[in-house]
């Protein structure tokens, strides 16, 4: 039994509403844009990179990288660097294969970014493949589930006004959801007011989270953090530039509020200083950027520091979502998993059998592997 074929698939799917709101007028579906006050590039499409790893006897494992920008970069790394290393290898050699892929470019300084995104896609596909070969769901291979369902929070509330965000949140409350994250970064006073309007509408029992997208200085973050602490917020995510571990440590010491960090990091090595310096109370690796294998290792390391996990899950589609659910089920120190309703809807359009998220919880797929299969026909029809 060996790996006989590795195929990468860059994907762009047209959408009417971008992450965090509307889409600027642009004729070119491959055009990228910024959304002030945020500095990162965004796409007018749902973009991702799938990978399909096959054995000689026709068993297939699906993987996906979180690739919201330039998915072709991830696919090129898979095709030119990772595929030659994987062909002919035993797919059951999971840890050995992860280390094999990681070591290929490690000495050249490529131990993050697109390189790890590509490794993560292959790692997810290998877990799916192993589950199918062994006839077990992935969470079983990870050591079993710590919970029957995976708790989640509604992320983003993409409406331009406080009234609109409250209305959207109340709609989800009526459907049984009770945890919400605001996409913030619009100034300390504006963010504090937005959070307060949500708290006033939802009451004290709802879980309120805030993502600042790295726009604040330390002083500003302390001011906003204190306001969020007064509102009983669950965490303050990405307040300061992601490279600045020391300022996050000072912030964590200054406010009685959990500081969350992690979607920018890929490995246990990158998370280690955050734990050592007590700069984060909640870690947020993304399975589409770290892979299932590494997320479980990060979780084990965090557990030793009494730090919880809230895996990031933004625009990953069906395979990435399923992988995140399996990983979250198998993590003892889980806080919450992210839930993006518009992304979830698109993801299910690509799957032969849909994933389920109801009343604040994901259902854990129970069939062999990740429990999802991409529909090639629908994927081709939806491509931009």
What is the pTM assigned to this prediction? 0.96
Question: In the predicted model, what is the mean pLDDT of residues 357-366?
Answer: 98
CA quadruple 326, 20, 360, 300: dihedral sign:
positive
What number is the average pLDDT over the span 254-275? Answer: 98
Q: How many CA atoms lie within 13 A of 202 on its CB side?
A: 33
Range in 31-40, 109-118, 256-265, 364-373 the model is least confident about:
31-40
pLDDT tier for residue 378 given thresholds of 50, 70 and 90: confident
41-50 mean pLDDT: 91
Return d(Cα 39, Cα 20) in angstroms, integer: 13
Q: Is the pLDDT of residue 27 over 90?
A: no
How many Cα atoms occupy the beta-carbon half-sphere of 133 within 13 Å? 25
34 or 128, which is more confident: 128
C-alpha distances in Å from residue 344, one per residue of 122, 227, 244, 357, 381: 22, 32, 32, 9, 18
Q: With 90 as the cut, is the pLDDT of residue 21 above it?
A: no
The confidence score (pLDDT) of residue 30 equals 64
Model pLDDT, residue 49: 97
Q: Where are the alpha helices (DSSP H) in 277-334?
A: 287-304, 318-329
Residue 336 reports pLDDT greater than 80: yes
Cα separation, 341 vs 206, whole angstroms: 18
Q: How far does the chain reach from its first CA to its final CA, in angstroms?
A: 37
Distance CA(303)–CA(295), nearest Å, equals: 12
pLDDT reported for residue 380: 83
Lowest mean pLDDT among 11-15, 192-196, 276-280: 11-15
Q: What is the mean pLDDT of residues 42-69?
A: 95
Backbone angles phi, psi at 340, to 5 degrees: -110, 95
d(CA 323, CA 370): 6
pLDDT value of residue 14: 83
Task: Please say if the pLDDT value at position 194 is more than 70.
Answer: yes
With residue 237 as reference, give the H or E element that holds it: strand 235-237
312 is an active site residue:
yes
The residue with greater pLDDT, 75 or 32, is 75
pLDDT > 70 fraction of the chain, expressed in percent and rounded = 96
Kindly report the CATH number that applies to the domain delimited by 140-374: 3.20.20.120
CA-based nearest residue to 50, from 37, 33, 69, 63: 63
CB 143 within 8 A of CB 327: no
Residue 84's CB is within 10 A of a number of other CB atoms, namely 11
Residue 247 sits at the vertex; the CA angle it makes with 243 and 248, to the nearest 5 degrees, is: 80
Provide CATH code, domain 3-137. Answer: 3.30.390.10
Domain boundaries, the chain: 3-137, 140-374
What's the half-sphere exposure (Cβ side, CA atoms, 13 Å) at 8?
Answer: 24
pLDDT of residue 377: 86
Tell me if 187 sits within 8 A of 210, measured CB to CB. no
Query: Which entry of 213, 312, 326, 361 is annotated as an active-site residue?
Result: 312
């Amino acid at each position: 039994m060996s790996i006989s074929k590795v195929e990468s698939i860059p994907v762009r799917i047209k959408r009417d509403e971008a992450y965090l709101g509307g889409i600027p007028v642009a004729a070119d579906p491959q055009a990228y844009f910024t959304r002030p006050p945020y500095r990162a590039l965004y796409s007018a499409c749902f973009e991702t990179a799938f990978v399909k790893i096959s054995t000689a006897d026709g068993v297939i494992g699906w993987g996906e990288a979180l690739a919201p920008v330039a998915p072709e970069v991830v696919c090129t790394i898979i095709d030119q660097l990772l595929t030659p290393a994987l062909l002919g290898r035993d797919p059951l050699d999971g840890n050995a294969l992860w280390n094999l892929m990681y070591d290929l470019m490690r000495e050249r300084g490529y131990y993050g970014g697109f390189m790890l995104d590509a490794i993560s896609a292959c790692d997810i596909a290998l877990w799916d493949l192993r589950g199918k070969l062994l006839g077990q769901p992935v969470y079983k291979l990870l050591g079993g589930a710590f919970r029957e369902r995976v708790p989640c929070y509604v992320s983003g509330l993409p409406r331009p006004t406080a009234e609109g965000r409250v209305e959207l949140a109340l709609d989800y409350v009526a459907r049984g959801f009770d945890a919400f994250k605001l996409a913030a970064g619009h100034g300390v006073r504006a963010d504090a007011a937005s959070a307060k309007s949500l708290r006033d509408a939802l009451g004290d029992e709802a879980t309120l989270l805030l993502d600042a997208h790295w726009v604040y200085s330390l002083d500003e973050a302390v001011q906003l953090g204190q306001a969020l602490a007064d509102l009983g917020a669950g965490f303050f995510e990405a307040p300061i530039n992601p490279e600045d571990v020391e300022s996050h440590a000072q912030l964590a010491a200054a406010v009685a509020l959990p500081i969350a960090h992690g979607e920018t990091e890929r490995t246990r090595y990158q998370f280690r200083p955050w734990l050592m310096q007590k700069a984060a109370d909640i870690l947020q690796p993304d399975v589409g950027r770290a892979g299932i294998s590494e997320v479980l290792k990060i979780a084990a390391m965090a557990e030793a520091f009494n730090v919880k996990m809230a895996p990031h899950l933004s625009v990953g589609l069906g395979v990435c979502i399923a992988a995140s659910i399996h990983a979250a089920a198998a993590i003892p120190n889980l806080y919450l998993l992210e839930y993006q309703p518009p992304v979830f809807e698109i993801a299910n359009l690509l799957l032969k059998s849909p994933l389920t998220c109801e009343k604040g919880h994901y259902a854990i797929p129970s069939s062999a592997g990740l429990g999802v299969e991409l529909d090639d026909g629908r994927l081709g029809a939806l491509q931009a």
